[in-house]
Amino acid sequence: MKNIIRIYVIALLAATTGCAKFVELDPPVNSISDRTAYTTNATATSVITGILYNMTVNTDFVHGVSGVGLLTGMGSDELKYYQASQGNLEFAKNSLLADNSYVSGIWARCYKLIYAANAAIEGVTASPTISEPVKRQLTGEARFLRAFCYFYLVNLYGDVPVPVTTDYKVNITLPRKPVQDVYQQIIQDLKDAQALLENEYLSATNAVTADRVRPNKFAATALLARAYLYAGDWANAESSATEVINQTGTYKLEENMNETFLVRSKEAIWQLGLAANGSGINTWDGNILIIRTSPVTGYPGLALSASQMDVLAGDKRQASWTDLFAADGTTYPYPFKYKVYQATGNSPTTEHTMVLRLAEQYLIRAEAKAMQGRISGTDGGVADINAVRSRAEQTGVSATTLPEFMLALERERRLELFTEMGHRWFDIKRWKGFSNTSITRADEIMPAIAAAKGGVWKPEYKLWPIPASELNVNVNLTPNPGYGL
């Protein structure tokens, strides 16, 4: 047991403190790259669960103050920022600089996790003592996590380096790969993960569990559906989403919307859960986004935007997933998908951070069907939109043309997925303009949005800058257009 705990802590420390820029340093001694970590099923599993645990901390890119949902929510039209902190203000006004600490932080954290996944793949593959079922599961999880990180890197920064080994001499000089090549890596990793992972969810001891914090085959399939959609492979996006939706014994839309984000939610495909640490914090999104003091003077200075509240007006999701805070004669709306700000005493954890869930799969399938020409009818995209609307007790929408459908889909995705890991930002960047298909939806709507926030929109701003610190280290990296050093 002591050895298992030691390896778990080593894995956690390696992922959190191994190096500020993983591509420029040697792997840390006695780290997850140490072959002794892969001598038994238990120690090898502890490496992966240590990586997953590290993804729950407040400074990770998944959630919290430096999370993708919060930062892209400020950059789009979901969240309003009320203060003058320079780092956050750059997101709020769409005026990012290449030395922004949040921009460089997400880059670094993603690549640390990728390094950890690469080390795990190498260690597990080389081990002669891990059992074959555990070896398959751990390799599948590592490939899933690597694909997950690359998905966010490519959507935030565009072309990015794609290290798939722990060879730092190679990694330190890797150039950026084109977006389409990054998607090829993501899709291949997820197809491999599909083939390797179990249908069931496993605990840290590799026993079947009701918790959904270690990815299974259908988590890989769900992320694959999203990757296919973003890559424009409509047929495979549809079939992958359908495979998940058809697992009716495991997944369903929660009829009570307030149960959607709970531990063991039937809608959850993959969640991240904080370990019991006495803090009472269930999720960092709940702790940070639930307003407890005026956003004008208090941390983190955010509330839902008027635009987002206009979309939610009259919808059950407004009542279930938002709340209000009054201060100084002003009422501020905030996301209330997670209900727990901070529990008291030794209260059990009731919520986990939702990363993948079933409603998104319906909306992925809806879009994929429409892009293949099937908009209305029982097998059309509208039917999948209405499946999600029905859970929210909303009247079904109708559409017969693609422009009508896209307006309905955009609205539904804003209603359903707001402040969840960047969906809104990624949607407007990847969609063509609705009234002018020669530009993106972002270029169509963001000039007015940016101006209202005190900024000026440029098409180059659809991508974040490559961090200046990385450009200074790797001579083969090139900056994104529009960002000076």
Q: Is the dihedral of CA 423, 61, 316, 307 positive or negative?
A: negative
Q: Which two tokens stand for residue 381?
A: 């995209």
Residue 280 has what pLDDT?
A: 83
List, for residues 102-143, the tens digit of each pLDDT value: 999 999 999 999 999 999 999 999 999 999 999 999 999 999
Residue 442 has what pLDDT?
A: 98
Q: Which two tokens stand for residue 365?
A: 């399938």
Residue 17 has what pLDDT?
A: 37
State yes or no: cis peptide before 447, omega within 30 of 0.
no
- Return the axis-axis angle of helices 179-196 and 132-157, rounded to nearest 10°: 160
Instruction: Of 232, 250, 229, 256, give the one whose Cα is nearest residue 241.
Output: 229
97: exposed, middle or buried (C-beta count within 10 Å: 0-12, 13-18, 19+)? middle
Phi/psi zone of residue 301: left (φ > 0), alpha (ψ -120 to 50 degrees), beta?
left
Q: Is the dihedral of CA 124, 128, 131, 136 positive or negative?
A: positive
Low-confidence ranges of the chain (pLDDT < 50): 1-31, 276
Q: Please tell me whether the overall predicted TM-score, pTM, comes out greater than 0.95 for this model.
A: no
Which are the contacts of 238, defined by CB distance < 8 A and separation ≥ 6?
A: 365, 368, 369, 372
* Residue 420 burial (CB count, 10 A): 24
Residue 30 has what pLDDT?
A: 38
Residue 4 has what pLDDT?
A: 37
Residue 54 has what pLDDT?
A: 85
Instruction: Of 63, 72, 61, give the one whose Cα is nearest residue 425.
Output: 72
Q: How far apart are CA 344 and CA 293, in angstroms?
A: 19
Residue 1 has what pLDDT?
A: 34
Instruction: Of 403, 152, 445, give the one whose Cα is nearest residue 311.
Output: 445
Residue 9 has what pLDDT?
A: 40
Residue 310 has what pLDDT?
A: 98
Residue with tokens 């009542």, as numbered in its chain = 319
